[in-house]
Amino acid sequence: MSSPIIPDDELHVTYILASGPGGQNVNKVATAAQLRFDARNSPTLSGRVKHRLIEVAGSRMTADGVIVLTARRFRSQIRNREDAVARLQDMIAQASTVQAYRVPTRPSRTQRKKRMDNKQHRSRIKQGRSGRYPE
């Protein structure tokens, strides 16, 4: 299943001052992009994807169901916005993949016997190392 494409009108991007290197420009220009996406009220996502997105987003999701991503890797607003949108798309793609159902299995009788035989063999080797038998 492919991840749904989120329309731009559901994304709210604001620009904030970025920390780190950049000279005096870092104090004047708001280049870091803060993306907000209301996942809980999004008509684009299905209920199953919304539920999984809560687990995938973790602490990046607020109590109101809004995912907040801050991108400050680049020195331009446009590239930081693209980075934030790409990170959101990755999260949604991860949430929309169907988890494989694991069927619990048990070791077979042969495997259990082989394991016990190996344990007894190791035990005999270690008993042979003890000082019970004088040379």
Set out the domains of the chain in order of their start, with CATH numbers.
9-96 (3.30.160.20)
* Residue 111 to residue 88: CA distance in whole angstroms: 46
pTM score of the predicted model: 0.66
Query: What values do phi and psi take at 54, rounded to 5?
Result: -60, -45
**pLDDT computed for residue 116 by the predictor:** 97
Over residues 70-120, the pLDDT tens digits come to 888 888 889 999 999 999 999 988 888 888 888 999 999 999 999 999 999
Sheet holding 11-16, edge to edge: 11-16, 32-38, 66-71
Alpha carbon distance 19, 104 (integer Å): 49
Alpha carbon distances (Å) from 54 to 36, 51, 85, 122: 15, 6, 18, 48
Amino acid at site 135: E
